[in-house]
Amino acid sequence: MSRPFAWEKSYPPGLAWDVPIAVSTLPELLRNAVAAFGPETAIEFRSQAISYADLGREAERLGAALLAAGIGPGSAVALYLPNTPYHPIAFFAVALTGARAVHLSPLDAERELAHKLGDSGARTIVTTDLGGLADRTAPLLAQGLVDRVLVGEDARWGDSPAPPFAARDGMLPLSAFVAGAVPPPDWPRVKPDDVALLQYTGGTTGMPKGAILTHANLTAAVSMYEAWFNAVPHDRTGRDRIIGVLPFFHIYALTTVLLRGLQRGVTILLRTRFDPEQTLRDIEDGRATHFPGVPTMWIALSAQPGLEGRDFSSLVYCGSGGAPLPVEVADRFERLTGHKLVGGWGMTETSPAGTNRLGTGASKPGTIGLPLPGIEMDIAALDDPHRRLPPGEVGELRIRGPNVTRGYWNRPEGTAAAFADGWFLTGDIGYMDEDGYFFIVDRKKDMIISGGYNVYPTMIESAIYEHPAVEEVLVVGIPDPYRGESAKAFVKLRAGAEPFTLEALQDFLKDRLGRHEMPQAVEFRPALPRTAVGKLSKLELRAEERAKAGLREQAA
């Protein structure tokens, strides 16, 4: 691609695409933050205030204990943690040793945990006694998948719902593990191109793949966000307070809340789980300035009774990421609160920097925004990933930049298939307009082919979200003897709303969708399935529909 790129003319004043993108290492990021903000509060968790200096000391103490246990460059340590101070302590401790961190999700099934441990080479798990997580590691020890489990005692952080942890074979309290540990005079040398993190992703057609993220990838992403937001004055306050309810084991929160937050000297209001009323209290009473969330959180907040009367005066930034944000949800939140939802698009494989929407100026409904500085993006033909398409044509988004993964751990074939001419193939279907704004119409794997037409479930979901009775919706493809596939809508109704018929839904959508896009089935659910980060998930719904189709075939 030649410069100037189409999106540069749409950048806000003072923002240059070719601004230098700084890359460094996670230990350097931590040390700089400690030096700059030492006595300031980095994390508020329950009744505890943890300063930057405290965080640095805790990470060094655990890092020293890991080194003494033989963990260093070339090793891997699995973090099996919800949002608790043990996560940033352990994450930076692993980085200090030169080992690679491996994120496990508290929602992973035992089979997934076993796969990630075996694939990553992690023989040590850091977890907590909160939520029964320590107990769930016992089978992994028994199967010989790990050598040790280090258990952080949740009671350390104030009133805890977890029962006291008792040491057992292979499972040791973290406090005992770090007792007497002394940081070395010289830490292992960590280079920007070293692997910092294996972040597992995918799994819809098989076991998850470990995206290789280096120190350079993660710090470049932080630098890209900084360059973007430095040109958006409303993003800054004197002392930012960020609601940290997005899980740190997910790349969105890891980079945009933890890493970028610490680099900026913010206070993170760390929360173990999302609760709409707690979030509103953090805004009203805790005077939070920033709240990055996922669409399901904004849907839940928008459904809170009396939202328009709550005090949002402290907020300077409301961001949505992790999944496409329905236009109707953003419009409803802005009508009720006066705050515009911004945010953008990214992936695990991009650390997750990609695009961002402007919070000021003219709005383009449905856009994922403009590429961040240092990132190149374009659109490739669906039938040929090497052929670039002109503005306005629909194809697959491609991306390249210093934030993009170099591939998947132990997956040379998967890595090769994910790239074309040095561009990472995102699997997202969309287009770029003449002004350089990108739009996504769906995921490639979600696309429905109905009667020979490409049908994009996200477009159908956006139209259904306009129905006043609908709170949440997911659309998946189901077998259709005439069309091959057709769309089915799974709907969660707003409180007090009455179900409607398929015919009534189709009548509502007749001016919003084409005939080939029209849902041919609707099902109401009290709740829709979610992923570990709170995103709505179609995986379970597809599996249910495949099982139903199989039973029908057997009966026939």
Q: Where are the domains of the chain?
A: 51-210, 367-446, 448-555
Interatomic CA distance for residues 63 and 67, integer angstroms: 6
Share of the chain above pLDDT 90, in %: 73
Handedness of CA 426, 429, 431, 437 (dihedral sign): negative
Residue 237 confidence (pLDDT): 57
Q: In 10 A of CB 63, how many CB atoms?
A: 29
**353-373 pLDDT, tens digit each:** 999 998 776 678 889 999 999
Residue 234 confidence (pLDDT): 60
pTM for the model: 0.85
Residue 282 confidence (pLDDT): 96
pLDDT above 60: residue 173: yes
- Which helix (H) or strand (E) segment holds residue 177: the answer is helix 174-178
Return the half-sphere exposure (C-beta side, CA atoms, 13 A cut-off) of residue 371.
Answer: 28
* The two structure tokens encoding residue 448: 């429905």
Give the C-alpha distances (Å, rounded to integers) separating 179 from 61, 108, 142, 173, 396: 9, 31, 26, 10, 52
pLDDT above 70: residue 197: yes
**What architecture is the 51-210 domain classified under in CATH?**
3-Layer(aba) Sandwich (3.40)
For residues 387-401, average pLDDT: 97
Fold equal for 51-210 and 448-555: no
Residue 205 confidence (pLDDT): 43
Pairing state between β 41-45 and 48-51: antiparallel
Handedness of CA 441, 443, 444, 447 (dihedral sign): negative
Share of the chain above pLDDT 70, in %: 96
* CA-based max dimension of the chain: 73
Give the C-alpha distances (Å, rounded to integers) separating 157 from 54, 86, 128, 178, 235: 13, 10, 12, 17, 30
Q: What is the mean pLDDT of the chain?
A: 92
For residues 510-525, average pLDDT: 90
More confident residue, 328 or 244: 244
Interatomic CA distance for residues 356 and 370, integer angstroms: 6
Domain at 448-555, CATH class? alpha beta
301: Cα separation from own chain's centroid = 19
pLDDT above 60: residue 94: yes
Q: In 10 A of CB 257, how many CB atoms?
A: 25
**16-72 pLDDT, tens digit each:** 999 999 999 999 999 999 999 999 999 999 989 999 999 999 999 999 999 999 999
In 303-434, alpha helices (H): 327-337, 412-417
Q: Which residues pair with 171 in a beta bridge?
A: 149, 168
97-106, 375-384, 436-445: the lowest-pLDDT one = 436-445
More confident residue, 501 or 360: 501
Residue 496 confidence (pLDDT): 94
* The two structure tokens encoding residue 334: 């802005």
More confident residue, 446 or 35: 35
pLDDT above 50: residue 204: no
**408-429 pLDDT, tens digit each:** 999 999 999 999 999 999 999 9
For residue 391, give the DSSP letter. T
423, amino acid identity: W
**208-242 pLDDT, tens digit each:** 899 999 999 999 999 999 999 988 766 555 689 99
More confident residue, 324 or 210: 210
- 526 upstream amide cis, omega within 30 of 0: no
Gyration radius of the chain over CA positions: 24
For residues 437-451, average pLDDT: 85
What CATH number belongs to 367-446?
2.30.38.10
pLDDT above 90: residue 179: yes
Torsion of CA 477, 479, 480, 484, to 10 degrees: 80
Return the half-sphere exposure (C-beta side, CA atoms, 13 A cut-off) of residue 76.
Answer: 22
